[in-house]
Structure 1
Amino acid sequence: MDRLSIIGLFLALLSLVGGSILKGAGLSSLWSPAAFVIVIVGTLAAILLHTSPAVFKHAFKIVRWVVKPPVSDRRALIQQIVDWSNIARRQGLLGLEPQVEMQDDAFIRKGLQLVVDGVEPDTIRHMMEIELGSQEQQDLAATKVFEGMGIYAPTLGIIGAVLGLIAVMKNLADPSKLGHGIAAAFTATIYGIASANLLFLPVSAKLKGVIAHTTREREMVIEGLIAIAQGENPRNIENSLAGFVN
């Protein structure tokens, strides 16, 4: 569980609600059905036009990583790779075959199977790097969904404000409606800027960080599997992979 993300989401909400109360605007000023439709629904419409169905679906599949990123323990993974190396030295590469089905991670399972099958180290590297690059590209494309929403939302907020001011201009003859109308118009701007800078763009940046961390970890796995396939000494493997921990 990523506590910083949870704290960040809480503080984002607190900054809006608390700021509105401290400024004397009150909570009611933050609610506007018209602004919600123009900004939030409009942003969703824009990103649906912007994105392919597969990428959109994947984006909302990985968004949970903001609060609950994939479990990562590089030291334990290095130890596991060293254990595999010891098994390979004692029993040969075929001795690793029972380990393949024990792996929950499909990427590790595929790489270990290639080692067991006796595939040449260069070929293993080539195949695994293609697999890694493909997954990374897919994940990064998903982060652009939230990045795009962060770009569209402020503009739609301005559109909402303009539409609100147009409605105010139509009621110039009735001064009692001007103050409320202008306040409602600027609520759309708040929706657009706040959602972009307190939610959409931070979520995109957080996901990119998680993806970069996962990619680096998988690069470590590739190096470890290549070393096993080349018959490297387990102690040397451990020492070479230690650099990935920091």
Structure 2
Amino acid sequence: MSPLIGLVGAWVFIIVGMLMKGGSIGGIISPPAAMMVIGGTTCVLIASFGMKETIGMIKLTILSLKERADTRPEVIRTLVGFSEKARREGLLVLEEDAKRVDDPFLRKGVRLVVDGTDPELVKDILETELDAMEERHHKNQKMFKQGGAFAPTIGIMATVLSLVGVLQHLDEPDTLGPAISAAFLATFYGVAVANVVYLPIANALEKMTTQESAERLLMIEGVLSIQSGDNPRILAEKLWSFLPPEARELDGDGEPAGAASAAGAGDGEPVAQAA
């Protein structure tokens, strides 16, 4: 839950620091300023991306608060298992195993191989789907990045309008202090929403896309290697090289996990599910 901890922690440090400087919680609460900044930013996003996409940002926000686990080790074990079985019994035997794979991208790749699709076509299909996924995710990230750009500007606009109203009442000096303070809250809201909400969520979504893309590239390489009949030991060596050294699983001899069994007769069934 790193994203959630980070966002909550940022607000806690900001508010506690303000309280230590003599401020108060009530002093930063301004419904009119919040309405101008949050409402204005939301409407600008609707104008830019559409109603449905903007409402979908709520779901994306919830999704971004969960840190995505690295499932590549499990995928590698699955692919090496498939390679052992295919080498021993033929590609057609993987048809039933493919049905038990949870990841739809890997399942599609294995089915294409089992159906005897040309290797270049398999690669093109999977890479096209990967590109389409990255494009969709990029659009989602762009909405939050644009929200982070719009909010501070709208906050400044709201502050200027509030100060105009304050200057129209210079004949009431007793109200100037609180009125000016309330006017500047709009700027605070705009900057805070941008830097402690929109932009961190955009970065979290971007990180998740990078992880998913890396996982799918690994799947493409594994599926094509199985189709070409690569030795399971070589496949294990190849796929574990996708991971940083500290994330690689090694056996007692310092070899990549799965390589030792692949070098032998290939006993046991492959892992049938990918996380």
TM-score, normalized by the shorter chain, greater than 0.5? yes
Q: Which residue of 2 aligns with 1:159?
A: 157
Conserved? CA contact 1:120–1:229, under 8 Å: no
Q: Please tell me the residue identity of whatever aligns with 2:81.
A: D
Task: Trace 1:1-246 onto structure 2 (pairs within 5 A).
Answer: 2=1, 4-53=2-51, 55-56=53-54, 58-246=56-244
Provide the aligned C-alpha RMSD in A. Answer: 1.4
Q: 2:259 is matched with which residue?
A: none
Q: For structure 1, which segment, 230-239 or 69-78, has the greater mean C-alpha deviation from structure 2 after superposition?
A: 69-78
1:45-87 CA-partner distances (Å, limit 9, x unpaired): 0111111455445544333332214443211211110000011
Structure 1 residues 52 and 8 mapped into 2: Cα distance closer, same or farther (>3 Å)?
Answer: same
> Per residue, is there more helix in 1 or in 2?
1
Structure 1's unaligned 5+ residue stretches are none
Deviation (angstroms), 1:205: 1.1
Identity of aligned residues (%): 35
- Does structure 1 retain, via aligned residues, the 8 Å contact 2:144–2:201? yes
Once residues 101 and 58 of structure 1 are traced to their aligned partners in structure 2, the CA distance between those partners, rounded to angstroms, is 31
CA contact (8 A) 2:3 2:66 kept: no
Q: C-alpha distance in 1, partners of 2:111/2:66?
A: 29
Q: Answer whether contact 1:65 1:210 (CA < 8 A) is retained.
A: no
Contact 2:70 2:211 survives alignment (8 Å) = no
- From the superposition, tell whether residues 62 and 34 of structure 1 become closer, same or farther in structure 2 (CA, over 3 Å): closer
TM-score with structure 1 setting the length? 0.94
Q: Contact between 1:154 and 1:196, CA under 8 Å: does it hold in 2? A: yes
Q: Tell me the CA shift for residue 231 of structure 1.
A: 0.5
**Aligned partners of 2:127 and 2:240: how far apart in 1?**
20
- The Cα offsets for residues 90-114 of structure 1, whole Å up to 9 and x where unpaired, read as 1111100111211221111111110
* Paired amino acid for 2:22: G
What is the TM-score of this pair, normalised by structure 2?
Answer: 0.85
Q: Cα deviations across residues 151-208 of structure 1 (Å, max 9, x unaligned)?
A: 0000011011111111111110011110000000000010000111111111101111
Which residue identity is paired with 1:82? V
Q: How far did residue 89 of structure 1 move?
A: 0.9
Using the alignment, how far apart are the partners of 1:96 and 1:86 within structure 2?
A: 11
Aligned residues: 244
Looking at structure 2, the residues matched to 52 and 155 of structure 1 have their Cα atoms a distance apart, in angstroms, of 20
Structure 1 residues 135-162: Cα deviation after superposition (integer angstroms, max 9, x where no partner): 1110111011111110000001101111
Q: Quick one: distance in 2 between partners of 1:130 and 1:116? A: 19
